[in-house]
Amino acid sequence: MSKARQFVRNTGFNLLGQLGVAVIGFFVTPYLVHRMGIETYALYVLLYATAGYLSLLSFGASAATIKYTAQFHAARNRGGLRDILFYAGSTHLLGALLGAAVVAGAARFWAFRLFHVPAPLLDLAAWVLCAAALGAVFTALIQFSSAVLQGLHRFDWQAGLSLLQNGLMPPGAAVLISRGLGLGGVAGWYVLLQAVICLVIFAVVWKLLRPARDFRNGEGLSFRKFAAFSISSWLVPVASIANSQLDKTLIVRTVSLIDLTLYSVPAGLLQRLQTLPATISSVLLPMMSEIHGPDAHERLLRMYLKSSRFLLWIVLPFLVMIFSLMPQFLTLWLGPEFVGRSVWPARFLVLTQAFAAVNFIPNNISTSRDHPEYYSAGSWAQAMLNIVAWLWLIPRYHILG
C-alpha cells in the first residue's frame, strides 16, 4: 500500500472513531448536566481530570511504543519488537499501580485539601477518586495496547476500540442516572468499562502480533535507549496535562464547583476540535518513523506540506463559524444558564484551537526524527506561560481569566 493511501486510510479510521465519540458526547452531555446538577457534574469532570493526571505515569512509553513498534515491525526485527513490548508494557503497568495506590489510599484527603470539595459531597468525591485510580490501571494497559496498534498501522482496530472506550461511557452514565444510581453508579461503570475494553484490546493485539513470531532475530533495543526516548517524550504529555487540566484544578480551588462546570463543559467540547490535527499527526508519526534513505528529506517535506494544507483548509472555516455563533450555540446546546458566563471563555478557547492546530504536524516530524526534545521545549514553554497567567488571572476574573 502506498504512503498516500495508507495515510488516507488510517486518517479516515481515526476520524470516524473520534467523530463518533464527539457526537455521542454532544447529545448526552446536556442530559447529564441537567440531571446531575451543575455542582455534582463538576465531580464527574474531576473523575476524568484525575484519570488524566494518572495517565502521566506511563512516563512517555506510549510515544516510544508507536515509534519502535513501527520501526521494528517494518524491519521484521523480532528481537527489537520483543524488547519494546516488554519495556513499554511494564512501564505502563507499574506506573499506573503506583499512582492508583497514592490516590486511592488518601482519596478523602485529596478531595478536601486539593479540590476543596464541600463537606456534603466529600464522601461521593472520595469514591469518584478511588474509581478514577482503579480505572487508571486498566486505562494504562489500554494506552499501551493502543500504541502498539498504531505502530502496526492498525488504526481500524485502534479507532474502533477507542470509540467503545470513550463512546460507551456517556450513554452508560445517562442510563445509570435515569435509574437513580447517581454519580456513584457512574463511577463504578467507568471502572467496569475500562476493565472490559482492556481485555478486548489485549486479545486483539495478541492476535495481530502472532505473525511476528516468524520474524528473524535482529538487534535488540536497550533499555537505556528506550528510557531516554520515553523520558524525552514524557515531557510533552506532562506539559499537555498542565495545559488541558491544570486550569480546571485552579478553578475548583479558587472559584467553585459550579464555575468548574460552566467552564469545563464548553471547554471539553472545544478540545474535540483538536481531533483532526491530532488524528493526522498520530497517523503520520509511524509513517515518518519508517522513512529512511537518501531521499528522506524530500519525502518528509512533501508529506509535511500536503498534510498541513489539508489540515488548514478543513479546520479554519469551522473555527470562524463557531466563534461567530457561540451565544446561539451554547443556548441551544446547554441552556441559557451557560450563555452569560461561558460565551467569551469559550470564544477565547476557539482562538486557542486555531493556533494549536498548526503545531501538531511539525512536532511529530521532530519526534519521528529522534528529536522529541523540540516538542517538549515548545510544550513546556506554553505550560509555564499558562500557569503564570492562570495564577494571576483566575482569582481576579474567574473563568473569563
Q: What is the pLDDT of residues 138-175, one digit of tens each?
A: 999 999 999 999 888 887 787 778 778 888 888 999 99
CA atoms of 146 and 148, how far apart (whole Å): 5
Band of residue 195 on the pLDDT scale cut at 50, 70, 90: very high
The answer to whether the beta carbons of residues 28 and 175 sit under 8 Å apart is no
Q: Nearest to residue 237, comparing CAs of 55, 385, 76, 108?
A: 55
CA atoms of 340 and 266, how far apart (whole Å): 13
DSSP letters, 271-338, are HGGGHHHHHHHHHHHHHHHT--STTHHHHHHHHHHHHHHHHHHHHHHHHHHHHHTHHHHHHHHH-GGG
Phi, psi of 300 (to 5 degrees): -65, -40
Residue 399, pLDDT above cutoff 80: yes
Question: How large is the average pLDDT for residues 381-391?
Answer: 89
CA distances from 253 to 119, 183, 322, 338, 391 (A): 14, 21, 30, 20, 11
CA atoms of 352 and 258, how far apart (whole Å): 23
Average pLDDT along the chain: 83
Contacts of 6 (CB under 8 A, 6+ apart): 153, 287
Question: What confidence tens digit (pLDDT) does each residue in 199-244 have?
Answer: 999 999 899 888 877 777 877 888 888 888 888 778 777 787 777 7
Grid coordinates belonging to 54: 494518572
Residue 1, pLDDT above cutoff 80: no
pLDDT of amino acid 7: 59
pLDDT of amino acid 9: 62
The answer to whether the beta carbons of residues 284 and 150 sit under 8 Å apart is no
Band of residue 8 on the pLDDT scale cut at 50, 70, 90: low
CA atoms of 296 and 355, how far apart (whole Å): 28
Band of residue 273 on the pLDDT scale cut at 50, 70, 90: confident
CA distances from 240 to 56, 98, 233, 259, 379 (A): 10, 21, 11, 22, 7
CA atoms of 151 and 72, how far apart (whole Å): 9
